[in-house]
Amino acid sequence: MATLHQAFSLFALIFFLTSGTGADQSTKTTQAIIRGSSRIGAIVDTSSRIGKEVVVAMEVAKEVCYGFGNQTFLHIKDSQKDAIDAALEAKELIDTLHVQAIIGPHTWEEVSLVAEIARETQVPILSFADTAPEWATERWPSLLQASPDKNVQMKAIAAIVQSWNLHQVTAIYEDTDSSVRGVIPHLHDALREVNSEVRQFVSLSPFASSDSISKELENIKSKHCRVFVVHLPFKLAVRFFEMAKKMEMLEKGYVWITTDPFTSLVHSINASVLSSMQGVLGVRSYFPKMGPDFESFNQRFPIALNKNGSKRGEKELLENILDTDFHGLSGKVKFKNQKVASAEIFQIVNVIGMSYNELGYWSHGVGFSENIDGNKSKSMIDLGQVHWPGGPRDDPNGWTTLRIGVPSSSSYKEYVNVQNDGPSGKNFSGFTIEVFKETIKSIPFFPSYDFYDFVGEDYNELVKANSSKGKRQLPSKYDAVVGDVEIVASRYKYAEFTSPYTETGLVLIVPARSSSKAWSFIKPFTTTMWVLISVFTVYNGFVVWWIERKGCDELQGSIPNQIGIMLWLSYNTLLSLNAPKLHSNLSRMSGVVWLFVSLIIIQTYTANLTSMLTVQKLEPTVPSVEELLNSNAKVGYCTGSYMTEYLPRVLKFKLENLKKYGSEEEYFNGFKDKEISAAFIATPYAKLFLGRYCNRFIQIGETYKIGGFGFAFPRGSPLLASVNEALLKITENGTVQALEKTWITPEKCPEIQSESSSLGPNGFLVLFYITGGTTTAAFVIYVCRTNLSRDRKIWRTISAVPKRWCSLRTPFTTRVASAEIPTHTSPEAPVPPASI
């Protein structure tokens, strides 16, 4: 029975060979690690390059073993990359040949079936598949993942992408579980950590035909992203690059990066294949081919034939493999959770001519370096000149030159102006053009671009030309649209927009006329304010009258007379400082506060009235949208805009009452000729129109919320998020405001008063609260004091009644008893009451 170290040594040999070590470089290692006799099985795909090298390595190991006088039985089976064949071969190796361990296969489809065959016997399976599901170790305890985890390698690729500011990549991989589970998720996560993303995933069948490869290449060529990460097996990768070369996809502007399965075999690629890979970057695991580390491995690797013997079972063999911990040619060899430790150092190569250059190294957690022990850097740029497809360049683009559509029919030249510039082409200028240029200046990776004029009046057609079409998303005519394009919901079917960089809204413009000044004296205050003044004036006058009426004969008389006096007293207090003399402190308190408030009101009224009489005031000829609808009036709007749908659908205007206009002059002539009574104009245009025709037109009603101007991109564009961020930055730092002042500052007009400036009660509420509270308090105190005084008088009167009764009764009784009774009665003498 094979010992632990014999089985694992063979595994280590195969692992180093599949990491790039040739069989001839492993001979010395093989002599040191293979002793005694054992039965080891291997399942490989002999049709693949790696499979062929594995077979050669095992044959060399077998010869070395015979040279030491012992027999080592290596049973190599060809899976032909078929999972069923691999399972049948595994069954024969276990049941018939009684192997103690099986090395391989390379795909998860094969590994899963082989592991199931070995489940009962617990024969260790050393898998070279890229990955295995988390549940695999529980189901198959004897399954070990011998290939390093691809997570760290994907971090190396992400570091390269970050070094050159390549924020989007296209991932091309073989459509197998190994790639889908073990590579693509790691690549996605690694790129996200450096603020990049996988823009497109392209999977190729292991048996992809030339036609299918060609179609996929056509698809990715139609996209703007020109950065590709290729994770394909050797044969498929060779076919892929040969096809890409024919389709001119290894020219200037493209970036290709290959992963370890292919790059580790770049030394074996022939000249014809290398000619189709010029400028390709490759990442592969690093190992010292010879030198102290290689020789040290020979001395430190334990063999211990006698210790393990040949009587140990598969379960003990598995435990010994899991306990292995040493430094091999490719780094630390140790299993954790039944997986071998990841490689920590990767070499970066660059295909040039008929060979390749070793640019340097990337170490996990450290960075890039030209030598394995050299100074480390966070950027690959420090490694020196890279030969990209199309020739050496300092900065790869990774994108095609963008086509930017610009509307040439805009009548507002302050925003967009397209002019013929002679033989050199056309000149594009205006506020929107300058905002776009300033925006992309703050995006370091933004592709090169060219402006193209769009001839046509309908902006909806311009936005549609910016959209991808068809099930396969055929390329659009433009890669973006820059101009005075409004952001509206209906256009989102064809494109996505940046945040607005102008004021949002739609306003109604109507002719203005000077307002009549006959009733100007009531305009300083609103109706509500006049009502409140009247109420508080009467209320204060009433309270003063009530308090003073008993102490002043002038306040007495008939009810009509008293009402007239009360009103006179109220307004006399408000409008005159020579108010009548007051006798009560309570009425004085109320009068002083009201006098203070009235002074403020009078001064405010005077100031506002003066302003109204000295500043010109305009009023609209049409008061509201409702008036336009009711009168069936004609309304103008901008030619080719979204308002063709918006006005009938949202504001309910009839189509026959809408008339198109394309410029400020056309609007003005339409008003002048009485063709229209009003016009709906976007807020940015309205500023220019009102500034040009001062005091002739006026904005009325509310501002209807519309999206404002924005840049349009095809739906799903990877540039949109970066442009939005950059646009926000230049808005916050004042760049947009500065451009607005330069390009679209409207003409200055004389000061006019286009809206009502009547003052409402909001600014006087505190004063009204004070005077109302003071007057009410005075009234309450007076009423309480009056009632208390009356109660006291009543009480004194009631208390005095018994005393008076006694004083009257006692003297009278005494007098009657002591008086002499006359003998005759005089007719004039009063006769006392009988009761007394």
Residue 394 in this model has a pLDDT that exceeds 70: no
pLDDT of 488: 86
What secondary structure letter does DSSP report for 225? B
Rounded CA Rg of the chain: 50
Contact 746, 688 (CB under 8 A): yes
What's the token pair of residue 51? Answer: 């499979």
Please tell me the predicted confidence (pLDDT) of residue 156. 94
Query: Three-state SS for 464?
Result: helix
DSSP string of 598-633, one letter each residue = HHHHHHHHHHHHHHHHHS-BEEESS--HHHHHHHT-
d(CA 286, CA 372): 9
The whole-number pLDDT of residue 11 equals 43
Angle formed by the axes of helices 151-163 and 184-193, nearest 10°: 40
Name residue, tokens 């007239």.
564
CA dist 444 and 656 (Å) reads 51
Q: Give the strand order in the sheet containing 367-369.
A: 197-204, 168-174, 227-231, 255-258, 281-285, 345-352, 355-363, 367-369
pLDDT of residue 335: 56
The mean pLDDT of 594-611, rounded to a whole number, is 84
- Percent above pLDDT 90 for the chain: 19
Residue 14: pLDDT over 90: no
Cα–Cα distance list, 130 to 125, 260, 373, 711 (Å) = 14, 11, 29, 44
598 or 795, which is more confident: 598
Q: Is 56 helix (H, G, I), strand (E, B) or coil?
A: helix
Say what the pLDDT of residue 255 is. 94
How far apart, in whole angstroms, are the C-alpha atoms of residue 698 and residue 619? 8
d(C-alpha 208, C-alpha 174), whole Å: 9
Cβ neighbours of residue 792 closer than 8 Å, sequence gap 6 or more? none
- Looking at residue 516, its pLDDT comes to 60
User: Tokens 């901008």 — which residue?
Assistant: 638
The DSSP H or E segment spanning 153 is helix 151-163
Instruction: State how far the Cα of 800 lies from the Cα of 791, in Å rounded to an integer.
Output: 14
| Distant-in-sequence, close-in-space partners of 54: CB < 8 Å, separation ≥ 6 | 14, 17, 18, 42, 44, 104
Query: What is the predicted pLDDT for the residue at 5?
Result: 33
The 10 Å Cβ neighbour count of residue 310 is: 14
* CB neighbour list of residue 651: distance below 8 Å, 6 or more residues apart: 625, 629, 704
Q: What is the mean pLDDT of residues 358-380?
A: 87
- Report the relative pairing of strands 426-429 and 417-420 from DSSP bridges: antiparallel
* SS3 per-residue string spanning 70-82: CCCEEEEEECCCC
* Residue 444: exposure state from Cβ atoms within 10 A (0-12, 13-18, ≥19): exposed
Please determine, for residue 400, whether its predicted confidence score (pLDDT) is greater than 80. Answer: no
Q: What is the pLDDT of residue 663?
A: 84
Fill in the DSSP letter of residue 96: I
In 3D space, the residue among 703, 698, 702 whose CA is nearest the CA of residue 616 turns out to be: 698
Supply φ then ψ for residue 64, to 5 degrees: -60, -40
Which pLDDT band holds residue 290 (cuts at 50, 70, 90)? low
Q: Quick one: which of 262, 283, 289, 291 has its CA closest to 360?
A: 283
Per residue, what are the HEC states of 306-356?
HHHCCCCCHHHHHHHHHCCEEEECCEEEEEECCEECCCCEEEEEEEECCEE
Task: Put residue 584 in one of left, alpha, beta given phi > 0 → left and psi -120 to 50 → alpha.
Answer: beta
Strand, coil or helix: what is 166? coil
Side-chain-side CA neighbours of 574 within 13 Å: the count stands at 18
Structure tokens at 815: 């007098």
Q: Which of 170, 326, 307, 160 is nearest to 244 (CA)?
A: 170
* Encoded amino acid at 327, one letter: H
Alpha-carbon separation of residue 744 from 436, 457, 483, 485, 708 (angstroms): 16, 22, 14, 16, 15
How far is the C-alpha of 211 from the C-alpha of 224, rounded, in Å? 22
Q: Specify the higher pLDDT residue, 741 or 554.
A: 741
Judge whether residue 27 has pLDDT over 80: no
- Helix, strand or coil for residue 723? helix
Run of H or E including 240: helix 234-246
How does residue 793 score in pLDDT terms, banded at 50, 70 and 90? confident
> Is residue 303 left, alpha or beta, with left meaning phi > 0 and alpha meaning psi from -120 to 50?
alpha
Q: Which of 32-41, 74-83, 264-273, 615-624 is the least confident region?
A: 32-41
pLDDT tens-digit readout, 513-542: 766 666 777 888 888 888 988 888 888 878
Residue written as tokens 């004029």?
A: 453
Contact 229, 240 (CB under 8 A): no
**HSE, side-chain direction, 13 A CA sphere, residue 779:** 14
- pLDDT for 545 beyond 50: yes
In eight-state DSSP terms, residue 158 is H
Q: What mean pLDDT comes out for the span 319-345?
A: 57
- Residues 588 and 428: their CA atoms lie apart, in Å, by 76
- Greater confidence, 483 or 310? 483
Model confidence over 85-117: pLDDT tens digits? Answer: 989 999 999 988 888 888 878 788 888 899 899
Cα torsion 701, 705, 706, 707 to 10°: value is 140
φ, ψ dihedrals at 437, nearest 5°:
-65, -45
DSSP 404: E
Pairing of strands 197-204, 168-174: parallel
pLDDT per position as a tens digit, 714-732: 887 878 888 999 999 999 9
Instruction: Please tell me the chain's helix, strand, coil percentages from 3-state DSSP, rounded to the nearest 5.
Output: 45, 20, 35
User: Mean pLDDT score of the chain, rounded to an integer?
Assistant: 77
The β-bridge partners of 347 are 284, 361
Mean pLDDT of 180-195: 86
Token look-up 């207090």 returns 573
pLDDT tens across 668-696, in order?
Answer: 999 999 999 999 998 888 888 888 887 78
CB distance 48 to 237 below 8 Å: no
Q: Which residues are 162's β-sheet partners?
A: none
pLDDT(341) > 70: no
| Nearest residue to 514 via CA among 633, 665, 615 | 615
- What single string gives the DSSP state of each residue in 413-473? TTT-EEEE-GGG-EEEESHHHHHHHHHHHT-TTPPPEEEEEE--S-HHHHHHTTS-BTTTT
